[in-house]
Amino acid sequence: MTQKLGLALGSGAARGWSHIGVLQGLAERGIKPDVVAGASIGALVAAAYASDQLAVLEKWVLSLTRMDVFSLLDARFRGGVMHGGKIMNAIADELGDHQIEDLEIAYGAVATDLVTGREIWLREGSVLDAVRASCGLPGLFAPTRQNDRWLLDGGLVNPVPVSVCYAMGAENVIAVNLNSHMANKRQSFVDSLEENEEEKKELKRFEKLASVVTSLFSSRDTEPGIFDVVNASINIMQERITRSRMAGEPPFVEIAPDVADIQLMDFHRAQENIDAGKAAVDDVADKLEDLKQLIP
């Protein structure tokens, strides 16, 4: 008897492009999920997969430079440093929008209610609205309002939404955890900028925004900046929550790409991420062979 397979794609900001590599690695082994759920960046990649747009997303992210990333950031200081409208418009231009109910593959995104702290599952309506709600990283992107609720990043309450996959009917779940290699890694946005003189010159095009963003980070040799603290705190919190939740609702297989050196805003490093995702699939090849005995 075959069983329905779920795939839970975890949160992790720019590290999330590794989900593309994971999906490619699974496809090469003939493994196709029937249900996908995601938190934060995982919600975006899951949406691309569920709408048969993964190749389109891959082509776009591989084309991104650091300057492209900066050009998509719309600065503000109410609820978050970035509004998020420009990047969502860019995603809409690439992927279009769909209704969740119309997707051929069952899809769910996770968000967090700002007022109550409750976990919100987004299972109907606009795919892009669900993705934006799930990607509201505190302090960086402003929360979004849906159905009289202010919604924040889903990674705050369910970083790797295995439970959502089970609730949508999956009997077995593959979990992709982007936070398992984060221990003892202090990341620095500023250090990576200082290593590239050409990019520093190009940043003059975005001088005001760049000065705002870099002032909130620090280099490794100085006192941590605001976002260094926020980013590290969220990583610690998500790793602990993930460990606890997966102990209660364990996946059949956990895939853990080693992307600890990818920083919060390194969306221009897609190829490294994708390669790490594929390598992580290879690491669990034996377990995946066992899983294939249970699925179509």
Q: Which residues are catalytic?
A: 40, 153
Helices (H), the chain: 18-28, 41-50, 54-63, 66-71, 85-95, 127-134, 162-167, 189-194, 197-202, 207-215, 226-248, 270-283, 285-292
Which amino acid type is present at position 123?
R
CB-based contact 134:88 (threshold 8 Å): no
What is the 8-class DSSP label of residue 99? B
Name residue 98's beta-bridge partners: none
Task: Supply φ then ψ for residue 105, to 5 degrees.
Answer: -110, 130
Question: Tokens standing for 149?
Answer: 């609720």
Q: Measure the CA–CA gap between 209 and 201, rounded to whole angstroms.
A: 14
